[in-house]
Copies of this chain bind each other. A is one copy, B any other.
């Protein structure tokens, strides 16, 4: 999208959703405008992060890109935590993971596969990613499995969740050290084509930092407006918190990854598309979700990591099929359609709950 048009949309939608919010236009216009505005402020936040990362030098820049890649989702989730929507937070974590592994990856593989008969990518990185993904799945399953045992009190679930959150953050930091310091060269060989972002910075250093701050503030405002409408929105359409969190919020929050990955796949850079989809799921599971556990402590009542059975089932099956399909380093349109079928089945099942 042309940069001027982008900024015009950004400012217009931000302004409109502000007016809608403070003018009490009602649930539906407020929800729609803030959801549309999120798409653009999240895009702006992404661009600003990349630009700052460009000036920060390779190592720190890589770290910034990796850690703030899901900043918009994190900010939305923080406002959900602040307003006590714990059920919806966990649903949106679930939705981000399955949305990346099934919808983003599925559309990329499917559309890329319609254009190219077979697309290939390096499997070594996929192997690492799937081991990390399994750690994430284990970390999310353990509190639910132990929590379901009759010997386990709510307090113990709390303590276990905090411990697991701490371990996940350590695992995430070690992963950054591993992939950016000790084994940088091995992994770089494995990535056939990295997304070509930041080759030439869009803005000067000062403007970049200013924009990063501005984008963060804007994302925070729009997130609060969006979260504010959720209760009456879900009530009006008789939707469950779990469906709204797992599908509506997750799709809005992940829109940037969607477009980037699909564009890369259609340029035959399927490796980079896989990297975005899987990397984003990993970040949500290993970084965003434990951070939210600690953030909840600041707002009083702690949030645990006990997901519902259907959320865990959704995460489990998504990881399982995504891992199975990406294991051989080749993709085709049919594999993409399999991922999309699983997404549709899960979407329908969550809608019925």
Chain A residues within 8 Å of B, Cβ to Cβ? 117-118, 124, 127-128, 130-132, 134-135, 138-139, 141-143, 145-146, 148-149, 151-152, 156, 159-160, 163-164, 167, 170-171, 174-175, 178, 182-183, 186, 240, 308-310, 313, 317, 320-321, 324-325, 327-328, 330, 332-335, 337-338, 341-342, 344-346, 348-349, 352-353
What are the 4 closest A-B residue pairs judged by CB atoms, nearest first? A178-B334, A145-B313, A138-B317, A156-B352
Indicate if the CB atoms of A134 and B332 lie closer than 8 Å: no
Within the complex, which residue of B156, B313, B352 is in contact with A160, where a contact is CB–CB below 8 Å?
B352
CB distance from A260 to the nearest CB of B (A): 25
- Copies of this chain held together in the complex: 3
Write out the residue numbers on chain B whose beta carbons fall within 8 Å of the beta carbon of A330: 124
Question: Given the interface contacts A141-B317, A151-B240, A353-B151, does A334 sit within 8 Å of B134 by beta carbon?
Answer: no
Residue from A138, A240, A310, A317 having most chain B Cβ neighbours under 10 A = A138
Indicate if the CB atoms of A342 and B138 lie closer than 8 Å: yes
- Cα distance A272–B348 in the bound complex, in angstroms: 37
Within the complex, which residue of B128, B142, B342 is in contact with A345, where a contact is CB–CB below 8 Å?
B142
- Cα distance A152–B131 in the bound complex, in angstroms: 34
- Cα distance A130–B323 in the bound complex, in angstroms: 11
Write out the residue numbers on chain B whose beta carbons fall within 8 Å of the beta carbon of A127: 327-328
Given contacts A131-B325, A139-B345, A163-B348, 12 further A-B contacts (CB under 8 A): A134-B320, A134-B321, A142-B313, A145-B309, A148-B309, A149-B308, A149-B309, A159-B352, A160-B352, A171-B337, A174-B334, A178-B334
Indicate if the CB atoms of A353 and B138 lie closer than 8 Å: no
